Amino acid sequence: MFMAIPLYWGSQGNEVRTVQDKLLRWGYYDGYVDGIFGARTYRAVRRFQERNGLNVDGVVGTSTAQALGMASAASGSSTQGINRAGDEYLLARAIHGEARGEPYVGKVAVGAVVLNRVKAPQFPNTIAGVIYQPLAFTAVADGQINLTPNKDSLNAARDALNGWDPTYGCLYYWNPATATSKWIWSRKVTLKIGKHWFGI
């Protein structure tokens, strides 16, 4: 899919509609999904950029489009919400931010949870959508998502994308020593890897 970027105030069409739909589902946009890039869309894009460590300019350029999980001319086609070129690196960044002190299998497990969410109907259907879903991951909230992933994190992302799921389908993980969400304790724990508990 070739995407006509950048998208900015005054742009119209299906790509603007896609941006609005994603931002609406993720809690950044509160207007109509009408395909017209106006003031509400501009403000929503800026909120998304600010929250996710992007250049805050209200324009959907290459980096913002990638963070939104939108395929661009350079990134190839996407199957089942997974785009190998951009998604592998984004997944590696999430793994590095969330699990860099964990054993290798624990890193792969964190990547697998993200991919399991992509496939689950109650979550966004792209890797970027899952990672940037508001309040879903601590590494996004505290900016650690922006650290450069190391070789282990890159390899773990590749292994997860290639189908290794040490969690056997888990949708959640947390560190019981640092978890602040009371809701997470309602999840059924199915296994423990390193400092993380994994559950459904």
Length of the chain: 200
pLDDT of residue 85: 58
Give the pLDDT band of residue 4 (cuts 50, 70, 90): low
Check whether residue 120 and residue 90 sit in a common domain. Answer: yes
Give domain status of residue 74, yes or no. no
Chain centroid to Cα 69, Å, comes to: 8
For the chain, give the mean pLDDT. Answer: 86
pLDDT digits (tens, 9 = 90+) for 24-37: 988 999 999 999 99
Question: Band of the pLDDT at 1, cuts 50, 70, 90?
Answer: very low
Could you tell me if residue 7 is inside a domain?
Answer: no
Same domain for 161 and 95 = yes
| Total-model pTM | 0.61
Q: Say if residue 61 is in the same domain as residue 110.
A: no
- Cα-to-chain-centroid distance, residue 126: 7
* Residue 188, pLDDT above cutoff 60: yes
121 token code pair? 């109907």
Amino acid at 144: Q
- Please report whether residue 5 resides in a domain: no
Does 76 map to a domain?
A: no
Q: Which helix (H) or strand (E) holds 80?
A: none
pLDDT surpasses 50 at 38: yes
Residue showing tokens 């395929």: 71
Residue 187 lies in a domain: yes
Pairwise CA distance, residues 60 & 9, whole Å: 10
Q: What is the pLDDT of residue 2?
A: 45
Tally of domains in the chain: 2
Q: What is the pLDDT of residue 81?
A: 46
Domain-ending residue, one of 67, 92, 111: 67
pLDDT at position 79: 37
User: Within this chain, do residues 129 and 174 fall inside the same structural domain, yes or no?
Assistant: yes
147 shares a domain with 52:
no
Pair (25, 119) in one structural domain: no
- Identify whether 9 is part of a domain: no
pLDDT at 73 over 70: no
